[in-house]
Amino acid sequence: MPRRDHFSWSAIVSAHARHGQPRAALALYRQMLWDPRSAGADNQFTASSALAAATAARCARAGRELHCHVVRKGIDVDAVVWSALADMYAKCGRVDDARSVFDRMPVRDVVSWTAMVESFAQNGQPEEALHYFDMFLMSGIRPDHVMFVGVLSACAHAGLVDKGLGIFHLIKDVYKIEHTADHYACVIDLLSRSGQFERAEEMINNMPMKPNKFLWASLLGGCRIHKNVRLARWAAEALFEIEPENPATYVTLANIYASVGLFDEVENVRRTMESKGITKLPASSWIEVGRRVHVFLVGDKSHPQTEEICTLLKKLYVKMREEGYVADTGFVLHDVEDEQKEHDIGYHSERLAVAFGIIATPEGAPIKVFKNLRICGDCHTTIKLISQIMQREIIVRDSYRFHHFKSGVVLVGTIGDFAA
């Protein structure tokens, strides 16, 4: 192109972000800033595309740099940019920054309100999510179906069954919005988390549309919590039809079998995966220290500070047992001795990353760890206790949401958000 305007740059940046290459999208945006053919392209349109890329990459540092760039360059900040900023901070786990951006918005539309409701819901502050939803309703702006997904999700994480069902009926009865498959998925999540499987099963059977993969995954997750083998098989069979190559379904089903001692069924699941060439995605966790990313696998001994990491974990486990901690070995799939199960679960990737964070960062500094899969329940309990023992704020962003721990208190993350 002899000249590249904001339309062409926004298109190419957005395309990379949407197709799983957010860091490449950010690199392209930086290239635009130095490209002599791109005079005038640095505006609110390209900025919002770059912010979407930072959001997809869960890169708070890049997002903050973009925010500073927008302010420094005096770029016109319209409603889209404001909402993109709030969404970026929220999805990077910086809820206070998201709230600060929202408070400074000159005009708020349904997109910006939805960003805040979803922010608090995803970051495990359902009470705040519902508070902002109530304020949104008082603003007089008409809600859309996306807003209701956010608030129903908040009810699910808070275990507010009656509140969630009330809002579900409100959607159609008051606002005349047709229920979507995502609305049903949220309600099934709400019911299955709370163990109300009869109501969940009845709702699925009476839905006016075909259940989607999110609904079946929600039901399967609830079955994992409450060890409901019958409905787990039902949900898994439906997911096998929709996503036959997705290893998460097989692994979750195997977890449920293992939790009730059905190790023959666990082996059957393994054999099925092997016959279909399906492999479990290795669990990995990573932490950024000094602009360098340190990656850990379960039982990983490749890190140069492995000895220090393992020594610290052993000391922490001694203190945890003094506090009454007992490892939940139900998250171990293998039919081995309890001592071996406790050893296996004791070196999950997120624990190694947290221990390294304690060693490598200044005393009292918060620790932020990312994980490619969902955190298991025993790791959730362990990291909560570590935050108390070490007096550190620890944030774990798994594949599903943020979990915040401070002084032995779970600020974010509720029962039901875990998987092995």
Torsion region of 413: left, alpha or beta (phi above 0 gives left; psi -120 to 50 gives alpha): left
**Confidence check: pLDDT of 136 > 80:** yes
How far apart CA 17 and CA 3 sit, in angstroms, is 22
* Inter-CA distances, 127 with 86, 133, 152, Å: 19, 10, 12
276/288 same-domain check: no
**Confidence check: pLDDT of 414 > 50:** no
Give the per-residue pLDDT at 336. Answer: 45
Q: Looking at the domain assignment, is residue 317 inside a domain?
A: yes
How far apart CA 399 and CA 86 sit, in angstroms, is 20
Q: Looking at the domain assignment, is residue 72 inside a domain?
A: no
> Residue 229's pLDDT band (boundaries 50, 70, 90)?
very high
> Residue 404's pLDDT band (boundaries 50, 70, 90)?
confident
Q: Looking at the domain assignment, is residue 302 inside a domain?
A: yes
Mean pLDDT, all residues of the chain: 88
* Residue that finishes a domain, picked among 280, 313, 340: 280
**Confidence check: pLDDT of 412 > 60:** no
Q: In this predicted model, which residue has the larger pLDDT, 365 or 415?
A: 365
258/300 same-domain check: no
> Residue 332's pLDDT band (boundaries 50, 70, 90)?
low
- Starting at the edge strand found earlier in the chain, the sheet holding 292-297 runs 292-297, 284-289, 367-371, 393-397, 402-406, 409-410
- Mean pLDDT throughout 199-206? 97
393/309 same-domain check: yes
Q: In this predicted model, which residue has the larger pLDDT, 133 or 80?
A: 133
Q: In this predicted model, which residue has the larger pLDDT, 242 or 281?
A: 242
366/292 same-domain check: yes
> Residue 342's pLDDT band (boundaries 50, 70, 90)?
low
269/358 same-domain check: no
- Phi, psi (degrees; rounded to nearest 5) at 146: -70, -40
324/382 same-domain check: yes
The percent of residues above 70 in pLDDT, for the chain, comes to 94
Q: Looking at the domain assignment, is residue 28 inside a domain?
A: no
Q: In this predicted model, which residue has the larger pLDDT, 202 or 108?
A: 202
Task: Enumerate helices (H) and strands (E) in the chain, giving the number of each.
Answer: 20, 6
> Residue 276's pLDDT band (boundaries 50, 70, 90)?
very high
Instruction: Look up the domain containing 247 and give its range.
Output: 179-280
288/205 same-domain check: no
Q: Please state which of the ranges 88-97, 298-307, 356-365 shows the lowest mean pLDDT.
A: 88-97
How far apart CA 286 and CA 352 sit, in angstroms, is 9
Give the per-residue pLDDT at 165. Answer: 96
- Mean pLDDT throughout 363-389? 90
Give the per-residue pLDDT at 94. Answer: 82
Q: Looking at the domain assignment, is residue 392 inside a domain?
A: yes
- Mean pLDDT throughout 329-336? 53
How many structural domains are present in the chain?
2
273/293 same-domain check: no
Q: In this predicted model, which residue has the larger pLDDT, 62 or 274?
A: 274
* Residue that finishes a domain, picked among 241, 259, 280: 280
Q: Looking at the domain assignment, is residue 13 inside a domain?
A: no
Strands 367-371 and 393-397: parallel
231/314 same-domain check: no
- Mean pLDDT throughout 272-282? 90
> Residue 384's pLDDT band (boundaries 50, 70, 90)?
very high
Closest CA to 147 of 200, 95, 108, 191: 108
Residue 249 sits in a domain of what CATH number?
A: 1.25.40
295/372 same-domain check: yes
> Residue 38's pLDDT band (boundaries 50, 70, 90)?
confident
Q: Looking at the domain assignment, is residue 393 inside a domain?
A: yes
* Residue that finishes a domain, picked among 234, 261, 280: 280
Give the per-residue pLDDT at 417. Answer: 47
- Determine what percent of the chain falls in helix, strand and coil, rounding each to the nearest 5: 65, 5, 30
- For residue range 237-249, list pLDDT tens digits in order: 999 999 999 999 9
Give the per-residue pLDDT at 393. Answer: 92
Give the per-residue pLDDT at 331. Answer: 54
Q: In this predicted model, which residue has the larger pLDDT, 2 or 395?
A: 395
The percent of residues above 90 in pLDDT, for the chain, comes to 50
290/403 same-domain check: yes
Tokens, residue 217: 């995954």
Q: Looking at the domain assignment, is residue 390 inside a domain?
A: yes
> Residue 207's pLDDT band (boundaries 50, 70, 90)?
very high
314/395 same-domain check: yes
